[in-house]
Amino acid sequence: MSNLPIKQLVHDVLFQLEDSEPSELISCLNCRQAITATNYRTRVNDQHHHRFVNPDGIIFDVCCFHSAPGTIINGEATAQYCWFQGYRWQYAHCEHCADQLGWFYENDRNEAFFALIPSALSSKN
């Protein structure tokens, strides 16, 4: 499993169960395309929000989601410079405007998640 269809995202947000926590869409800051939703948040290594420094010394904040239907996944999966041990990563771009919004991670046990850049998205990450 790599991603849910965007119809599923919109459906999940519009037709929420009354007893579940209210969910809100999270959109691409550049083009406002719906990307994911607050109820798709997940924890990886016990944290939703992670901060990393890349080999060039640039700080990245990322937030983890189990699905991001508004993205497309690009590039060859690689474990090089991987921030999450045991995972391979690919780029996650906005399906509409192609801005990079983060990365898609998957391991050998078919566990997968998206690490998205909060500053590239609308609020409520």
Site string for Zn ion, 50-89 (x = CB under 5 A): ----------------------------------------
Please report whether residue 28 would count as binding Zn ion according to CB under 5 A: yes
Least Å from the CB of residue 98 to Zn ion: 7
Instruction: Report the residue from 44, 62, 68, 94 that binds Zn ion according to the rule CB under 5 A.
Output: 94
Element (H, E) at 6: helix 6-14
Number of residues forming the site for Zn ion (CB under 5 A): 8
Nearby residues of 106 by Cβ (< 8 Å), 6 or more positions away: 2, 77, 87, 88, 112
DSSP 8-state class, residue 39? G
In angstroms, the CA 57 to CA 39 distance is 32
Contacting Zn ion (CB under 5 A), which of 4, 6, 30, 100?
Answer: 30
Residue entry with tokens 């691409």: 28
**Which run of H or E residues covers position 93?**
strand 87-94
Between residues 6 and 31, which has the closer beta carbon with respect to Zn ion? 31
Query: Footprint of Zn ion on this chain (CB under 5 A)?
Result: 28, 30-31, 33, 94, 96-97, 99
